[in-house]
Amino acid sequence: MAEEAIKLGGKRKSIFMDKVKKLLPEGGNLNLCLTCGACSSGCPATGLENMDPRKFLRMAALGMDEELTSTPWVWMCTMCYRCVYACPMQIDIPALVYEARASWPRETRPKGILGSCDMALRNQSGSAMGTPPDDFVFVVEDVLEEYRETQPAFKDMEAPIDKKGAHFFLNQNSREPVTEPDEMVPLWKILHTVGADWTYGSKGWAGENYCMFLADNDSWEKIVRTSINTAKELGCKVFLNTE
Ligand code: SF4
Ligand code: SF4
């Protein structure tokens, strides 16, 4: 499919132009973008909505704010940062994508991401599934008991929750305790086998953070703070992000 030509409508006042400049190294010289396309070559969202990271950056540089803040492509970027690693000038395109997302009124952002973020704000788990702390504790204890009874090699295995002074604080993707509880066990087994001193927290145990993908800074921060504060209160030394 042939690419549509970018139409320029004369000189425009751009909020993105300023942001792009901040994202460029060494004083924000837009000419630092070599238009080499390395960013686009490995981007999983290249070609969707007739967009790619190089085109997105060039449109920002040309002041095409209206197009940038209305294209649904920004919600297809996975925030994987591949483009940044590939870019010879280390231009931070996902940060620009994030700004474009944040410009959408909250209620118009994609329903799936919005709903998962709102669910995570419902209780202190931070879980996109809305699982409350008590339910998480129940599932972990239940699964642990089953494995201790049925697998003698792991009869002493632990899956601690809120263990004071544990070295590692682990989080957990919240889909697993709800839909695939057995999927939590391989990691427990590894930690048991190597003798790691670890714990989950009953608060802030959920590892995913859809509020970040939603470009909702306040909610993103709230969820991260709940996790970090729990780890600090328990006196853990290392935060292990399993997501
Ligand atoms: S990889 Fe970097 S320098 Fe090359 S086109 Fe993309 S943003 Fe520009
Ligand atoms: S961060 Fe976004 S734009 Fe960059 S490579 Fe990943 S999906 Fe593409």
3-state secondary structure 45-88: CCCHHHCCHHHHHHHHHCCCHHHHCCCHHHHCCCCCCHHHHHCC
The answer, yes or no, to whether any atom of ligand 2 lies below 6 A from the CB of 153, is no
> Whose C-alpha lies nearest to ligand 1, atom 4?
36
- The per-residue pLDDT for range 71-129, each reduced to its tens digit, is 999 999 999 999 999 999 888 889 889 989 999 999 999 999 999 999 999 999 999 99
- Give the closest residue to 79 by CA, choosing from 96, 66, 67, 56: 96
Nearest-atom number in ligand 2 for the CA of 39 is 5
What domains can be seen in the chain, in order of their start residue?
A: 15-104 (1.10.1060.10), 111-240 (no CATH)
Residue 1 banded pLDDT, cuts 50, 70, 90:
very low
pTM, whole model, 2 decimals? Answer: 0.85
CB-based burial label for 243 (10 Å; 0-12, 13-18, 19+)? exposed
Residue pair 168/236 in contact (Cβ under 8 Å)? The answer is: yes
Q: What separation, in Å, do the N-terminal and C-terminal C-alpha atoms of the chain show?
A: 36
Testing ligand 2's pocket by substitution, the residue of 51, 78, 101 carrying the most ligand atoms inside 8 A of its CB is 78
Per-residue pLDDT reduced to its tens digit, 127-170: 999 999 999 999 999 999 999 999 999 999 999 999 999 999 99
Owner of token pair 């008991």: 145
Instruction: Return the amino acid letter for 189.
Output: K
pLDDT, tens digit, for every residue of 170-222? Answer: 999 999 999 999 999 999 999 999 999 999 999 999 999 999 999 999 999 99
Q: How many residues does the chain have?
A: 243
What is the C-alpha to C-alpha distance for residues 192 and 156, in angstroms, rounded to an integer?
9
Find out whether the beta carbon of 207 lies less than 6 Å from any atom of ligand 2: no
